Homo-oligomer: A and B are copies of this chain.
């Protein structure tokens, strides 16, 4: 009987992050300013520390992980790689299913992998305060945790409706010492304007980003931190894929297919990028981003330059996008409701190196429940997308009578998402199937940059 878990010791934590930029088949499409010119490192200095800006644009393949970051990561890393034996049995599949359990971090997801690095570099640069935004709360809690570790005050602008609907994510951030501010707030010009128009504004992630950036840009001692989309975030997540590769090697395996949930791209980059060299060297590895069909950025969006936020304050990036004013329905996978996607993930998808599938919400929860009942761990709704994708691959292997090795990222646990499971059990969830013209509507407003 194989063991459930393949473990690594702390000494086996990767010593370097893997930067995919030098290995891209074509150069990365640069970020553009509102003037249509590539943006400069200097223009990012108001909100990011030098080391992060350097990583964002680096052409070095391997970037050393500083010792204090490695020590902080080792509070929970290396994370276990599981063989999902019980799920395999329940499916009756000849496929082997492995998953990387990122829910073991104190914040409950893979997000602290980047939060810790960002907190460290900001502290090194003499910064005392960090601002950020959070919707579902995964990123806000991760930065709260990381800020605490390196002695930084963390201010989290939390989408007002989530602030009230998810009070326990808020409590978690406060336990780690962060200040949590419902957004829109009276602390920023953006917030005050929004409240003036509508005192009952429920808030949005775009608005919260704008408030966090405004506060960071306006104070010398304060920077901003983002939890997905940008290159340096994906870079920090590559510990996941490197560990998984080492763990699979211990049992003599290589993956035939790798899956990850896809919102902004931090999970996709984290687990897949470290396997790209093997694929480039001729190994037959499929890599599949799994997104919700209610926010089908890769599968149905356009590949074009667009704003990273909904109000148009950020640089313009070439990516798959549904349009920066696309409003996905209020599905229970808050982390996957982003209108765009990482530039790197978008480019690799465009070049046919990564694949993508979109899965409907109800089938995703079905998969989450089956996973809970076989493997015990209750997945976050975001993570359940990858579970759904992995189950579909395993069932295909069964139908074809083929052995296959499947690897996916279980990006987090669902302990703070049980209300979503409640709604699933109550039959209150619905699926969304957009006609093309409904999706195309939000694309009228793309910036005019080629």
Contact = CB atoms under 8 A, between A and B. Distances in A.
A75 interface: yes
A177 B71 CA distance: 39
A104 B74 CA distance: 16
Contact of A369 (B7, B145, B175, B422): B175
A418 B167 CA distance: 9
Interface in A127-162: 145, 148-149
For this chain, the copies found in one complex come to: 2
A376 B167 contact: no
Interface string A342-380: 000000000000000000000000000100110111100
A373 B217 CA distance: 28
Contacts of A107: 376
B376 A145 contact: yes
A26 interface: no
Interface of A: 1, 3-5, 7, 9-11, 71, 74-76, 86, 104-108, 145, 148-149, 167-168, 171-172, 174-177, 369, 372-373, 375-378, 415-416, 418-419, 421-422, 425
Contact of A106 (B10, B377, B425): B377
Nearest to A145: B376
Contact of A168 (B7, B148, B419): B419
A4 B75 contact: yes
B106 A171 contact: no
A421 B419 CA distance: 20
Q: Which of A5, A148, A375, A419 has the most CB of B within 10 A?
A: A5
Contacts of A145: 376
Contact of A372 (B4, B105, B175, B369): B175
Contacts of A172: 378, 415, 418
Given A108-B415, A171-B419, A175-B418, 5 more contacts: A3-B10, A4-B71, A168-B415, A171-B421, A172-B415
A347 to B, nearest CB: 35
Given A373-B148, A418-B168, A422-B167, A175 B3 contact: no
Contact of A9 (B3, B74, B415): B3
A76 B3 CA distance: 11
A3 B11 CA distance: 8
Contacts of A149: 86, 376
B171 A418 contact: yes
Contacts of A176: 372-373
A159 to B, nearest CB: 18
Nearest to A365: B175
Nearest to A415: B415
28 contacts: A1-B71, A3-B9, A3-B10, A4-B75, A5-B10, A75-B86, A76-B376, A104-B104, A106-B375, A107-B376, A108-B415, A145-B376, A167-B418, A168-B168, A171-B418, A171-B419, A171-B421, A171-B422, A172-B378, A172-B415, A174-B425, A175-B369, A175-B373, A175-B418, A175-B425, A176-B373, A177-B373, A415-B415
* 3 closest Cβ pairs, A-B complex: A106-B376, A171-B418, A168-B418
A313 to B, nearest CB: 33
Contacts of A378: 106, 172, 175
A7 B4 contact: no
Contact of A7 (B7, B76, B105, B372): B7
A373 B173 CA distance: 10
A106, A107, A375 interface centre (most CB from chain B within 10 Å): A106
A369 B1 CA distance: 41
Contacts of A5: 10, 74
A246 to B, nearest CB: 15
Contacts of A416: 415
Contacts of A171: 418-419, 421-422, 425
A104 B415 CA distance: 13
Nearest to A73: B4
Contacts of A377: 106
Nearest to A8: B7
Contacts of A369: 175
A378 B176 CA distance: 9
Nearest to A376: B106
Nearest to A3: B10
